[in-house]
Structure 1
Amino acid sequence: MSFFALTSLRGSYIAVIFALLLSAPVDLYAGPDLSLQSSTPSRSLPKARSDFPTPQDSDQVFYVQRSMNANTVVYKVNFASDGTLSSNRPMSAYWRRFNTTGAVKSLSFLEKSFAYGVSTHPNVDGKTHSVKFAALPKLSVTLRQSDKHKAALWANINNQEYRMISAFLDLDESGLFPKVVRLRLYTSEPNTGLFVTHLVSVSGGDIRK
């Protein structure tokens, strides 16, 4: 089975990021074809665009940037007063409008519903949460708390667990709609302490928004 065996994919270009983590085909709306090109370790964390600000928000666990501009989607975790994950809303997402003032902006209804929104559900172990992204409702990523006021997102890629850090989408803007042509997913590998960049080629990744 192909690593990116996808029969269909729902939502906008943000789905490209999370499709990388799929280990089985899903039955969603049509979308891009993906191919993992390489997974490259490094001692320092690479940066796709040195001129783009890096968000450093409190309780941030993941962020997404694109080549079209510096606007960034930030994912953060929410804690209760005792330092444990909030039982009502452990995780949320919003824009950092770095293309202008860097101000925080809420996701629109459509962005929450079909692109950047997240939902969580406590797992039976009582220690972790299953995280589902709106663009790929059948994809689960684990939100794990390591200490008070400390948590991270984890995903299994090719039977290896990686901590998710960020993603960058390279776009071809020459046509009517921009197309995602390449994804760089930045992670860390806990056993070695190395950073790992997963390079993914993309075809059919039109951005229609």
Structure 2
Amino acid sequence: MERLLFYFLALMVLVGTSVLPAFSQETLKTNKGQELPTPKGIANMLFYVQRDPNTNTIVYELNLDSKGGLVEAEPVKIYWIRYADGGNRQDLNFIQRKFAYGLNVRKISADKYELNFVAYGKRAFTLQKGPDGRFHVYAPVNKKQAVLDRVFVRIEGGSFWVPNVVYAEFKGRETATGKEIVERFKP
């Protein structure tokens, strides 16, 4: 599992060369047929990551202090929602945080940060305030700037350390139009 994100992020390098057609959001299911839930009731959620083989979801949430200000030292909280285990929240363990789903964060300017997944540092995302005055994570999706909402990784077989990634999918909202935009990558 910990290596899963590494393989997914490596796929992002292929954005310009192996993009499949965009698909509208349909109900995604695990390879075992379980519907993947959309996290709800998280006011400051930035985006979330889902992958096979189960419904457990990694949430990336804006980290605010008790006064509602951004915690600059760690602007994004990351945790599991363990849907397969009753929906409890659980912190990432050390390996997940340091080698897979964690983020490297670099402050660029006031209210603007560069984010990179620890598993793959060559593709950067930006955390910054949008025109609505709220923080969002911006990422290229189908070669267009988008507010990132969801990442999904389809796995069929392989092993714990070397999963067979069939595709990865980004879903967001195009910044210029507000329209949903989806991009699938083929390994």
- State the TM-score bracket (shorter-chain normalisation): 0.7 to 0.9
Partner of 1:47: 27
The DSSP-based 3-state class of the residue aligned with 1:39 is: coil
Question: How far apart are residue 61 of structure 1 and its match?
Answer: 0.7
In structure 2, C-alpha distance between the alignment counterparts of 1:158 and 1:184, rounded to whole Å: 11
Contact 1:17 1:185 in 2 (8 A): no
Partner of 2:19: 36
**1:129–1:89 distance in 2 versus 1, CA, 3 Å:** same
Question: How far apart are residue 164 of structure 1 and its match?
Answer: 0.6
Partner of 2:5: 14
Contact 2:56 2:81 in 1 (8 A): yes
**1:171–1:17 distance in 2 versus 1, CA, 3 Å:** closer
1:150-172: CA deviation from partner (whole Å, max 9, x where unpaired) = 31100124642111111111111
Alignment of 1:65-84 (within 5 A): 65-84=50-69
Taking only aligned residues, the RMSD between alpha carbons, in angstroms, comes to 2.5
In structure 2, C-alpha distance between the alignment counterparts of 1:140 and 1:200, rounded to whole Å: 17
Partner of 1:140: 124
The DSSP-based 3-state class of the residue aligned with 1:143 is: strand
What's the TM-score, normalizing by structure 1? 0.74
**1:200–1:110 distance in 2 versus 1, CA, 3 Å:** same
Partner of 1:94: 79
In structure 1, C-alpha distance between the alignment counterparts of 2:125 and 2:159, rounded to whole Å: 33
1:190 equivalent among 172, 175, 179: 175
Contact 2:142 2:183 in 1 (8 A): no
Contact 1:141 1:153 in 2 (8 A): yes
Contact 2:141 2:182 in 1 (8 A): no
Task: Indicate whether 1:161 and 2:145 are aligned.
Answer: yes
Higher helix content, 1 or 2:
2
1:16-65: CA deviation from partner (whole Å, max 9, x where unpaired) = 444455489xxxxxxxxx8221234x5xx443238222112231111111
- Structure 2 residue runs of 5 or longer lacking an equivalent are none
Q: What is the identity percentage for the equivalent residue pairs of Structure 1 and Structure 2?
A: 28
In structure 2, C-alpha distance between the alignment counterparts of 1:117 and 1:97, rounded to whole Å: 17
Partner of 1:105: 90
The DSSP-based 3-state class of the residue aligned with 1:198 is: strand
